[in-house]
Amino acid sequence: MAMINLADRRIVVTGGAGFLGRQVVNQLCAAGAQRDKITVPRSRDCDLRQLEACQTLVQDQDIIVHLAAHVGGIGLNQEKPGELFYDNLMMGAQLIHAAHSAGVQKFVCVGTVCAYPKFTPVPFKEDDLWNGYPEETNAPYGVAKKALLVQLQAYRQQYGFDGIYLLPVNLYGPEDNFDPRSSHVIPALIRKVHEAQQRGDRQFPVWGDGSPTREFLYSTDAAQGIVLATQSYSDPEPVNLGSGAEISIRDLVVLIADLMEFEADIVWQTDKPNGQPRRCLDTHRATAAFGFEAQVDFRTGLRQTIDWYRQHAV
């Protein structure tokens, strides 16, 4: 397909005021979009779980980039699985339906690596997405988001609706969510180390046994991938967005402690859940389809994230 010219397009970015969303808005503008034609709905004014709110939002719009999600780490997934399933399914399903009904030109749905089966050959390939059930602690969230892929493919088949589905790996970067009740592993660890330093702790407890592996993608890289796909990807198959670098939680904790100059004994709380055993994506499809490759070195990105948090920590 020809690359979409963003210059005169009216674009909605749900979740556009969030950690990733702000970067996506900036990169849309860098790619030619006009900021005054980008709409960023706020949840307090626009409840995407209500069909009427979705219908109002998509009216006269050309492109929808759906980033909004009710999401968090293992703790939140264990505490609120019903909310996470319902909120994410309803937001996405109704927004897709409203966009199709309103004649929106393009729908970009950002899914989650949590959609992959618990046991999947590493690195994860998009074709393996349906070969098993997701890891139990985040399955309700993962299944709800994966259902949106089915909806987009069905709407493409029946209505010719141009909806694409992207699967970013765990994100990190400045302005991330550092709330201990809902943050993911990198911001959670940075905050825990910072607070332990402030108290002068000599022991540092961490959930699990440190054996699981994760892959992380810097927020500006993720935003670039989303914008490239928005402009020039138009196929039904889902596409991974990742960095290709896999690290164990044990090594991650040691690296963050090292970068933050924190010396303490790490205590692994093996009675706590590990989450998915390994998580790393095959990113060949993204490179072949729209030229995406991550640019930010992991150590550099971590250092920038730590610096931002230290400047903004209360």
* CATH, residue 154: 3.40.50.720
Domain-located, residue 154: yes
Annotate the chain with DSSP letters as a single string. -PPPP-TT--EEEETTTSHHHHHHHHHHHHTT--GGGEE---TTT--TTSHHHHHHHHTT-SEEEE-------HHHHHH-HHHHHHHHHHHHHHHHHHHHHTT-SEEEEE--GGGSBSS-PSSB-GGGTTSSPBPGGGHHHHHHHHHHHHHHHHHHHHH---EEEEEE-EEE-TT----TTT--HHHHHHHHHHHHHHHT-SEEEEES-S--EEEEEEHHHHHHHHHHHHHH---SS-EEE--S-EEEHHHHHHHHHHHTT---EEEEETTS---SS---B--HHHHHHH-----S-HHHHHHHHHHHHHHH--
pLDDT in tens, 93-105: 999 999 999 999 9
Predicted local confidence at residue 1, as pLDDT: 56
Domain-located, residue 222: yes
Domain-located, residue 99: yes
Query: Is position 314 annotated in a ligand binding site?
Result: no
Domain-located, residue 124: yes
Return per-residue pLDDT of the chain as tens, 314 residues: 578 999 999 999 999 999 999 999 999 999 999 999 999 999 899 999 999 999 999 999 999 999 999 876 777 778 899 999 999 999 999 999 999 999 999 999 999 998 999 988 999 999 999 999 998 988 999 999 999 999 999 999 999 999 999 999 999 999 998 988 778 889 999 999 999 999 999 999 998 999 999 999 999 999 999 999 999 999 999 999 999 889 999 999 999 999 999 999 999 999 988 877 888 999 999 999 999 999 999 999 999 999 999 999 86
What backbone phi and psi angles, to 5 degrees, belong to 46? Answer: -140, 100
Query: Is position 15 annotated in a ligand binding site?
Result: yes
In which domain, by residue range, is 91 found? Answer: 11-176+215-245+279-296
- Catalytic member of 86, 116, 141, 165: 141
Question: What's the CA gap between 248 and 210, in Å, rounded?
Answer: 7
Tell me, yes or no, if 141 is annotated catalytic. Answer: yes
Domain-located, residue 254: no
Domain-located, residue 150: yes
Domain-located, residue 303: no
Query: Is position 57 annotated in a ligand binding site?
Result: no
Predicted local confidence at residue 261, as pLDDT: 96
Task: Say how many domains are in the chain.
Answer: 1
pTM over 0.85: yes
Query: Is position 272 annotated in a ligand binding site?
Result: no
Query: Is position 177 annotated in a ligand binding site?
Result: no
Domain-located, residue 310: no
CB 115 within 8 A of CB 199: no
Predicted local confidence at residue 183, as pLDDT: 82
Predicted local confidence at residue 71, as pLDDT: 76
Query: Is position 216 annotated in a ligand binding site?
Result: no
